[in-house]
Amino acid sequence: MKTSLAKMHNSISWAIFTGLAALFLFQGVPVRSGDATFPKAMDNVTVRQGESATLRCTVDNRVTRVAWLNRSTILYAGNDKWCLDPRVVLLTNTQTQYSIEIQNVDVYDEGPYTCSVQTDNHPKTSRVHLIVQVPPKITEISSDVSINEGSNISLTCIATGRPEPAVTWRHISPKAVGFVSEDEYLEITGITREQAGDYECSASNDVAAPVVRRVKVTVNYPPFISDAKGTGVPVGQKGTLQCGASAVPAAQFQWFKDDKRLIEDQKGMKVENRPFFSTLTFFNVSEHDYGNYTCVASNKLGHTNASIMLFEINEPTSSTLFQEEKTTAMTPWKGPGAVSEVNNGTSRRAGCIWLLPLLVLQLLLKF
Q: How far apart are CA 341 and CA 347, in angstroms?
A: 14
Residue type, 183: D
Is residue 335 helix, strand or coil?
coil
**43 near ligand NAG, judged by CB under 6 A:** yes
Q: Are 54 and 61 in contact (CB under 8 A)?
A: no
109 belongs to the binding site for ligand NAG (CB under 6 A): yes
- Touching ligand NAG, residues 326-365 (CB under 6 A): 336, 339, 342, 344
Of 69-77, 132-140, 203-211, 212-220, which part binds ligand NAG (CB under 6 A)? 69-77
Least separation in angstroms between CB 340 and ligand NAG: 8
Query: Is residue 307 a contact point for ligand NAG (CB under 6 A)?
Result: yes
Q: Are strands 88-93 and 277-282 parallel, antiparallel or unpaired?
A: unpaired
Which one-letter amino acid corresponds to residue 302?
G
SS (H, E, C) 195-211: HCEEEEEEEECCCCCCE
Q: Which of 217, 189, 190 is nearest to 201 (CA)?
A: 217
In the complex with ligand NAG, the residue whose CB is nearer, 68 or 277, is 68
Smallest gap, in angstroms, from Cβ of residue 3 to ligand NAG? 33
108 forms part of the interface with ligand NAG (CB under 6 A): yes
Q: Report the nearest approach of ligand NAG to the CB of residue 268 (Å).
A: 8
Q: Dihedral angle at the C-alpha atoms of 255, 260, 262, 267, nearest 10 degrees?
A: -150
State the minimum distance, in angstroms, from the CB of residue 365 to ligand NAG: 26
Q: According to CB under 6 A, which residues from 245 to 304 bind ligand NAG?
A: 256, 284, 292, 294, 296
Give the CA distances from residue 13 to residues 87, 115, 198, 212, in Å, rounded to whole numbers and listed in that order. Answer: 27, 17, 67, 56
Q: Between residues 10 and 44, which has the closer beta carbon with respect to ligand NAG?
A: 44
Asked if residue 195 binds ligand NAG (CB under 6 A), the reply is: no
Indicate whether 189 belongs to the interface with ligand NAG (CB under 6 A). yes
Q: Are 157 and 213 in contact (CB under 8 A)?
A: yes
- Please choose, out of 15-23, 101-109, 133-141, 158-166, the segment that lies near ligand NAG by the rule CB under 6 A: 101-109
Taking each helix axis from N to C terminus, what angle separates 323-334 and 346-366, rounded to the nearest 10 degrees?
90
**How far is the CA of 339 from the CAs of 69, 129, 226, 245, 254, in angstroms?**
89, 80, 14, 16, 17
Give the range of 14-22, 70-78, 133-141, 201-209 binding ligand NAG by CB under 6 A: 70-78
- The nearer residue to ligand NAG, 95 or 104, going by C-beta atoms, is 104
Site size for ligand NAG, by CB under 6 A? 27
88 binds ligand NAG (CB under 6 A): yes
The binding site for ligand NAG (CB under 6 A) comprises 43-44, 70-71, 75, 83, 85, 88, 102, 108-109, 129, 151-152, 189, 236, 256, 284, 292, 294, 296, 305, 307, 336, 339, 342, 344
